[in-house]
Each structure stands twice: as structure tokens, then as C-alpha cells.
Amino acid sequence: MAENKNDGMNYAPEVKTKGPVVKSGEFIFAAAHLDHGHIFGMCKGLTEAGGLCKYVYDLDPDKVSAFVKQFPEAKPVADFGEILQNAEVQMVASAGVTNTRGPTGVTVLEHGKDYFVDKAPFTTMAQLDAAKKAVEKTGKKYMVYYSERLHSESSVYAGQLVHAGAIGRVIQVIGLGPHRLNAPSRPDWFFKREQYGGILCDIGSHQVEQFLYYTGAKDAEVLHSKIGNYNNPQYPELEDFGDATLLADNGATHYFRVDWFTPDALPGWGDGRLVIMGTKGYIEVRKYLNILGNPENGGHVFLVNEKDYIYTNVEGKVGCPYFGELILDCLNRTEIAMTQAHAFKAAELCITAQDKAVRVC
């Protein structure tokens, strides 16, 4: 699936990874449960890093057909059990209905395979607890596609600047994650609270994960969170607005807002922005467009510190190393791409924010 900047449900970034990290056939994975279009970005990243998507499963033949057009090496199978029982499959990539992702992941781990799932990885604490037990029991990985950091060159570059000390100690992160609703294109489960998990659990998961990453925090407290449905009464279980404030274990703070209010005129599915403030400067990231600059392109990074006042467009220049690192982590049983603790903590905090949220509308 080509990049579709107006359709967040099926957005697959046209971003190159760092190139293959393994030889052809050295890392074999399967795709299963294709309910969200993020599966295309997930599998695209893995294949560009050298992975081979050899099998695909979904109950909907149209979804399978669309997937095979993009990944012709993938052989459709009639039963998910065929993938689970296939010894050559090392990982299962999945983007099922949100509240099914946790149980599916436990099943995958129990069959001796690593699991790579779309965000949000869970909708309840019970699902998270079950996954933790499965990881401990099996030693397998339960990794999450937090795409707004992992599959965004500007976010990757911002991380490089932070880790190089460009703005000193990070003390606050502000994340803005507006999305385009485009309701007619959405499946029924998208509007059912039990199935999609709520806005803070769903798209809020991107923001919480970024906060932990850029601050280096291991834990945080949700101080306050809010949700509302301001403009979509025809979908009473939809939350079209949410925000939250967090305090990390290292003293850093976080505010994020997520919503479904991208205006029609915007040439993209959402004007995702990030401000990282440090003791010696700040970084602003405009991931997908810059209204006053080049609105069609993303990758905008602004850096201000004690020596520099710089704008850089990194689109097509930085790449996204996560996918290659993930493949190597699976082969070598390391934790370079992302630790399991980090993936689970981000999920835990967004569920907590959702559970604690005050309804304002």
C-alpha cells in the first residue's frame, strides 16, 4: 500500500530503513489479522530490513488480496493455526481489532514465536498482565509498533539530538496528535469503546511512549486525564478528544493531546507535533507537514540551544533503524530496538490514563 497522507487508518510511511540486516530467508515472519492498515507499515519496515513475509492470514479474503498485492511473497493460509504450527515462522506481525491484540499475542508467544503488534497493544490491565506472564514463561518478545516515533525520521533525528546532549537534560515533553476521523472509511469496531479501548489508550499510546523514550524515564504517574465527545453524537461511544498530564520518575513532565479534529483543508491526516524542552534548549518536531514552509513534506526538526538556531528537514536522510534492530534482537535475543519493559510501561500508562479520565463532554 502506497503512502496515503490523508488516511490515517491506512497510512504506510514511505521511509527507508537502514537497509537489510540479514540475508534473504534468514528471518521469516507472517502477517495475521489485518483489521488496521498499519499492518502495511509494519511489514514494509520488516521487509526493507531483510525480513521475509512468507505467510498471511485473515478471515476477509479482500484484505488478504490487498496484502498480497503489496507483499507477493506472502502465501495466504486458511487457518491461523497453520502459522502458529509452522516452525519456520519466527515472528507474527498483527494488527487485529484492538481488544483482540493481547489475547492473540499470548497465543503467539505460547507457540514459540515473537510477536509484533500494532499500537495500542492492549485495552485492559488484565490483557497486559497476561502478556507479561506469557513473556516471562516463554522468553519471547511482545513488541509494539509505536509508529509515530519508530516510523518517523524527524522523531528518530530528535532522539539522536537528545541523546547527543543537544538540549541538556530533558525536563518536559509536549505531544500533539490530531488525526483525521474520516468516519465513513472506518470499520464498525472503531466506534465501539470496548473494542478500540478509548482515545487515550489508542492514539494516546504514541504520546506516552515518546515521553518515556525522550526523557529516559522508567516509570511515570498519570496526574490527570480527560476525554470527551464534542462533535460526534452519532457515534456515542467514540471519544473525539483526550488529553493527559504525567510526571516521570526522574522529574520530567508530560502533556499530550489527541483528537479527531483535523480540518478538511489540511493536506494530511494529522499535524503531529512534538516539543522537547531541556535545560539547555529545545527541539520542535513537525512530523508530517509544516503549514508555513513545505506543507506537502514532513521531517521538519527545529533545534534551539546555547549555540545553535537550526531548521533541518530530515525526510529521506535519516531512515528508521528500529526494524533492523528488531530483527536482530529476535535473532540474538537482545534488546537494542526497544526493551520489553519500555513497551509494556507505555501500554500500562496509556491504559491508566484512560481508566482515570474525567469525561468533559
pLDDT in tens, the chain (361 residues): 445 544 444 544 456 557 899 999 999 999 999 999 999 999 999 999 999 999 999 999 999 999 999 999 999 999 999 999 999 999 999 999 999 999 999 999 999 999 999 999 999 999 999 999 999 999 999 999 999 999 999 999 999 999 999 999 999 999 999 999 999 999 999 999 999 999 999 999 999 999 999 999 999 999 999 999 999 999 999 999 999 999 999 999 999 999 999 999 988 889 999 999 999 999 999 999 888 766 568 899 999 999 999 999 999 999 999 999 999 999 999 999 999 999 999 999 999 999 999 999 9
Domains of the chain are 8-145+323-333 (3.40.50.720), 149-320+351-359 (3.30.360.10)
Q: How is residue 33 annotated by DSSP?
A: -
pTM above 0.85, yes or no: yes
CB count, 10 Å around CB of 61? Answer: 9
- What dihedral angle (degrees, nearest 10) is formed by the CA atoms of 159, 207, 178, 121? 120
Is residue 12 reached through a cis peptide bond, with omega within 30 degrees of 0 on the bond before it? no
Q: Quote the CA–CA distance of 229 and 360 in Å, as a whole number.
A: 8
C-alpha cell at 357: 479520565
DSSP H helices in the chain: 38-48, 61-70, 80-84, 98-110, 125-138, 147-150, 153-163, 193-196, 199-202, 204-215, 322-332, 340-356
